[in-house]
Amino acid sequence: MKVQAFLEHHGIAGNPFAEEDAQNDTVFKRTCLETTFHPSWDKIYGDPADPSTSIVFGEKGAGKTALKLQMVRQFERHNAVHPESAVFVVLYDDFNPFLDRFVSRVGPGRPVDRVLSQWKLWDHMDAILALAVTQLVTQLTESPGRQAKLTRPQARDLALLAACYDQSTAESFPTRWRRLRSRTGYRNWFALWPQALAGAGTAALVVAVVYGIVRGELGWTRQWWPWLLAAGAWIPALLRRARTTWLAWRIVRSMRTGNRTVGQLARALARFPEVDLSGQPLPAHARSDDRYELLAKFQGILAAAGYQGLVVIVDRLDEPHLINGSADRMRQVIWPMLDNKFLKSTATGFKLLLPIELYRFIEREDEQFNQRARLDKQNLVPSLEWSGETLYDIASTRVKAASVGTPPATLAQLFDESIDQRRLIDGLRSLRVPRQLFKFLYRLLVAHCHSHTDEQPVYRIPLERFERELALFRRDQDAFDRGLAPR
């Protein structure tokens, strides 16, 4: 008996339990994304008009990525309905490029654990600013409807942030940066006076030499003063380039997660008048103070662009290849971010969706860590738990979402009448998280259909089959939790 025939008999198109990752789950995105929420949703999501921080711990398959997708969707809906209090959402869920650059600069060839121990808060801030600035620059340069009423200082700040942090690979950095300055109205021809002076001095010397050749009067070329004047015209340009190159080198050395080269950054900085760079915070030191000021400047730019809040969603911490699920390495990377000053930044909310393994480290931390992190102020969810009733509702919603008949199919009608709702709820409760729920129901459907032929189909799952498969699945689940068997 084919699974497809079983589902079609109940008016279900496709297996609603085939996908296990919310990122690729079409059923979830089509229906459950806006209808099925975790009981702690309000605490996690908060009020988009006043973004707040929340820290969630959950085991694999508990729905952390689903929460991320739901938050993104709800923030989009909020922005559409309340443009006056729109939220700028940044997804900090791909650590691979930042960790790869960090390791290649801090300690190529050294043990990864030792290198990651040097990861600091300002490395996170650089990565977040890179994502946020790149996203905003893309909106301003590629979306005709998106305009920002920037003052000249704000236009300068955005150009400076883009010079340091814009990491778009869609086009070359000089082209994109030039287009951004044109779009924001930040043009500084006065900054080019050293190059103009050098060009004028060189051009004057060339003209004089050509004129002398034509007139046959080259005796003056044996004098030292024309050449000295031409060389003197180059001195401001050379000094300017030396200063910007030195500053660019310090910035590139300090930004251990960035991808800007010294040459690219030096040429960009040379387009700023010295008065515009004087006293401005730059990420040229290994400290977080400058990054806090840059973050404040970026928030001012967001306000001018129509965004009243910033939300950063952190997810998939366990997936980078340098971490590879190691709880110790995850701790090395995320712990610097657990700083109350950072997490309580004005008009900013951080949504940290973290693996449950890290909560065990928190339980063993000392008083100094607790005073710095102040997790009691961060809307902490120690475990993303699901009740049996909630798991039953999730499964029922997915069955209805995949139904094509009228009325839509229900989860209960897939089972024999001897299995009442209470027994289903009690059995599903032991699966703990949605991913295990989907795995079990998929396995149950396959096992049931494989035990019957097409000639003698059975379109209800009996109690015996449910109990047997549940016992086998729980045994495998316990073995996996102990690290004894793959899943």
CA distances 299 to 19, 139, 416, Å, are 38, 15, 58
Q: Is the pLDDT of residue 21 over 80?
A: no
**What whole-number percentage of the chain has pLDDT above 90?**
66
Kindly report the CA angle at 214 between 210 and 216, in degrees rounded to 5? Answer: 110
Q: Render pLDDT for 288-340 as a digit per residue (tens, 0 to 9).
A: 999 999 999 999 999 999 999 999 999 999 999 999 999 999 999 999 999 99
What's the confidence (pLDDT) of residue 144? Answer: 62
Q: How many CA atoms lie within 13 A of 310 on its CB side?
A: 27
**The two structure tokens encoding residue 201:** 């001095």
User: Is-contact 403 11, C-beta < 8 A?
Assistant: yes
Q: Cα separation of 260 and 164, whole Å?
A: 7
pLDDT at 243: 87
Q: What is the mean pLDDT of residues 257-261?
A: 93
Q: How confident is the model at residue 479 (pLDDT cuts 50, 70, 90)?
A: confident
State residue 104's pLDDT score: 93
Sign (positive/negative) of CA torsion 202, 206, 211, 212? Answer: positive
For position 109, what pLDDT does the model report?
Answer: 83
- The pLDDT of residue 114 is above 60: yes
Q: Dig out the tokens for 449 from the structure.
A: 């259909």
Residue 219's pLDDT is 58
Instruction: Give 209's pLDDT tier (boundaries 50, 70, 90).
Output: low
To the nearest whole percent, how much of the chain has pLDDT over 70? 89
Give the model's pLDDT for residue 218: 59
Whole-model pTM: value is 0.88
Region 469-473 average pLDDT? 94
Higher pLDDT, 405 or 200: 405
Between 364 and 230, the higher pLDDT residue:
364
Residue 408 DSSP one-character state: P
pLDDT in tens, 366-386: 999 999 999 999 999 999 999
Q: Model confidence at 34, in pLDDT bands (50, 70, 90)? A: confident
C-alpha span between 350 and 144 (Å, rounded): 29
- Let me know: does 309 contact 349? Beta carbons within 8 Å: yes
> Is 443 exposed, middle or buried, given 0-12, 13-18 or 19+ CB atoms closer than 10 A?
middle
DSSP alpha helices (H): ranges in 147-224?
A: 152-165, 173-184, 193-215
Task: Give the closest residue to 317 by CA, choosing from 47, 84, 37, 55.
Answer: 55
Position with higher pLDDT, 238 vs 468: 468
Return the pLDDT at 388: 93
Residue whose token pair is 């289903």: 424
Q: Which residues contact 392 (CB under 8 A, 6 or more apart)?
A: 411, 421, 424, 425, 428
Q: What's residue 478's pLDDT?
A: 84
Question: In 3-state terms, what secondary structure has residue 250?
Answer: helix
What's the CA gap between 148 and 303, in Å, rounded?
A: 9
Cα separation, 188 vs 181, whole angstroms: 10
pLDDT at residue 355, rounded to an integer: 95
Q: What is the pLDDT of residue 4?
A: 92
Return the SS3 of 350.
strand
Long-range contacts of 90-93 (CB under 8 A, 24+ apart): 90/128, 90/131, 90/132, 90/135, 90/310, 90/311, 90/312, 90/313, 91/131, 91/313, 91/315, 92/127, 92/128, 92/131, 92/312, 92/313, 92/314, 92/315, 93/68, 93/313, 93/314, 93/315, 93/316
Crossing angle between the packed helical segments 96-106 and 121-142, to the nearest 10 degrees: 130
pLDDT, the chain, mean? 88
pLDDT by residue (tens digit) across 146-184? 667 889 899 999 999 999 999 998 889 999 998 998 888
Among 71, 134, 88, 50, residue whose Cα is nearest residue 304: 88
Residue 120, classed as helix, strand or coil, is coil
* pLDDT score of 342: 97
**What number of residues does the chain have?**
487
Query: Which residues pair with residue 47 across a beta bridge?
Result: 50
pLDDT in tens, 65-111: 999 999 999 999 999 999 988 999 999 999 999 999 999 999 888 99
Instruction: Look at residue 215 and tell me whether its pLDDT is greater than 70.
Output: no
Instruction: Map out the domains of the chain as residue ranges.
Output: 3-10+404-481, 39-151+158-185+285-381, 189-271
Q: How would you label 28-53 residue by residue, b for 16+ Cβ within 10 Å and e otherwise?
A: bbebbbeebbbebeeebbbebeebbb
User: Which pLDDT score, from 0 to 100, does residue 158 have?
Assistant: 96
